Amino acid sequence: MSQIDSAWGAVPSARYEALAGRFRPIFAQIREGAVERELERRLPLQELQWLKEAGFTTLRVPVEYGGAGASLPELFNLLIELAEADSNLVQSLRGHFGFGENLLNSRDPEYQGVWLERLGRGETVSPASGEVGNAKQLEFGTRLSLHGGHWLLSGSKFYTTGALYADWVDVSANNPDEQRVSVTVRTSDPGVEIIDDWNGFGQTLTASGTAHFREVPVDPLNVILAENRFRYSPAFFQSVHTATLTGIGRALAEETAGHVARRTRSFSSGNAPRVAHDPQVLQVVGNLRSAAYAAGAIAAQNFQALERAHQAHLNDDEQALSHAVNIAELEVAQSQTIVSDLIIKASGDLFDALSASATLKPLGLDRFWRNARTLSSHNPRIYKSRIVGDFAVNGTPPPAQWRIGVA
């Protein structure tokens, strides 16, 4: 069924349904096993392989390099559909698509060409930026150093989302000149150790745990200055969360509707012999669907803002790019709180349409709240609201980048 016929709204392009048609059978397969994977904590290795084989990871790669050449709105709309099947998989690929977006904005043709060829072959990349403990805001404990004429990478990271599934890991580090750099090494390289120790209560299958790098040899061609990363990256990465939340909203609305439709037991204090005809229950289900629809409508505006920023980059217009990046960041920020509120509330309200039996673990309905709450905790929502308010009142532009750590 098309997106319009499903009443989720307009698609981002005339070719979108044909593009989505390649992946919807795979999304359906992924969705069939989503609850079982959550209950058994089975990592989605096979499911991610299905996506790679179908070309999902090459969506933004230009056609001449073997990809689909999808626009940003097309990519993000497909991420919503994947999140509807299993939000863990979108989060696991978030860093990969961000790495690819950086390539599309690169001013280094040699670096860009080498990596677009790799991505076009289906190779994937995960991020390794976050450091815990006493890590500082303005520098990394992970270091790129020169020993005997060879570059070596050493350090430890956490929140290495998707690293267990990826071919490469893109590591944030400081070089000997104390410049922040991005260093990409193979996950199979000697000295790379990736540990499945993520123990958050949500997004449990994203492999967001620890990675150690012990004097890992580095090809200088795989090193770039962090300051050269694509300008709209904060808005891009947050928009992946917004897309994922939208997909969670759709999934919880549809699963709840299915449970209500099949339910034969009803309360004597209710309004109908079957809950499928109880107007109060139907109202709850309708509100769940409305929350998901509203989230999607808001998210679609974010995706267009990102596309405008990307087009400004392609036009090589610095003034237009700076303006488009600021606007994209503001649009995404003022969406974040509302979308997360809608989906977090819906993930709790769904139980009002069912009964105590809906809390039984085999149904896995709690996963929607756990996943939505975890996603909404990544980038503090209160700061986004303040940034938007400062723009509205004082005309203050949003911060270009931000870091976490000890000040």
In this structure, the answer to whether residues 241 and 196 fall within a common structural domain is no
Same domain, 269 and 366: yes
The predicted-structure confidence for 154-204, as pLDDT tens digits, reads as follows 999 999 999 999 999 999 999 999 999 999 999 999 999 999 999 999 999
How far separated are the first and last CA of the chain, in Å rounded? 51
CA atoms lying within 13 Å on the CB side of residue 333: 25
The CB-side HSE value for 15 (13 A sphere, CA atoms) comes to: 9
343: Cβ contacts below 8 Å, ≥ 6 apart: 245, 246, 248, 249, 252, 291, 292, 295, 372, 376
User: What are the CA-CA distances from residue 126 to residues 65, 114, 159, 283 (Å)?
Assistant: 20, 17, 10, 42
Q: pLDDT tens-digit profile of 21-67?
A: 999 999 999 999 999 999 999 999 999 999 999 999 999 999 999 99
Residues 262-308 have pLDDT tens digits of 999 999 999 999 999 999 999 999 999 999 999 999 999 999 999 99
CATH number for position 158: 2.40.110.10
Cα atoms in the Cβ-side hemisphere of radius 13 Å centred on 222 = 21
Q: Which residues contact 136 (CB under 8 A, 6 or more apart)?
A: 405, 406, 407
| Among 213, 228, 243, residue at a domain's last position | 228
Domain holding 115: CATH number? 1.10.540.10
Residue 90: inside a domain = yes
Over residues 125-148, the mean pLDDT reads: 92
Same-domain check for residues 256 and 219 = no
pLDDT at 403 over 80: no
- Tell me what the pLDDT averaged over the chain comes to: 97
Residue 402 has pLDDT above 80, yes or no: no
CATH number for 277: 1.20.140.10
- Boundary of a domain, candidates 196, 228, 260: 228
CB 105 within 8 A of CB 222: no
Do 38 and 76 sit in the same domain of this protein? yes
- Tally of domains in the chain: 3
pLDDT at 400: 80
Residue at a domain's end among 195, 228, 261: 228
Shared domain check, 248 and 113 = no
Q: How confident is the model at residue 133 (pLDDT cuts 50, 70, 90)?
A: confident
**Whether residues 131 and 209 fall in one domain:** yes
**Do both 334 and 200 map to the same domain?**
no
CA distances to 146, 227, 240 from 313, in Å: 34, 15, 20
Do 288 and 206 lie in one domain? The reply is no
Q: What are the tens digits of pLDDT across the range 221-274?
A: 999 999 889 999 999 999 999 999 999 999 999 999 999 999 999 999 999 999
**pLDDT > 90: what percent of the chain?**
94
Q: Does a structural domain hold residue 407?
A: no
Distance (Å, whole) CA 84 – CA 248:
5
Tell whether pTM > 0.85: yes
Q: Are 243 and 377 members of one domain?
A: yes
Domain range enclosing 353: 233-394
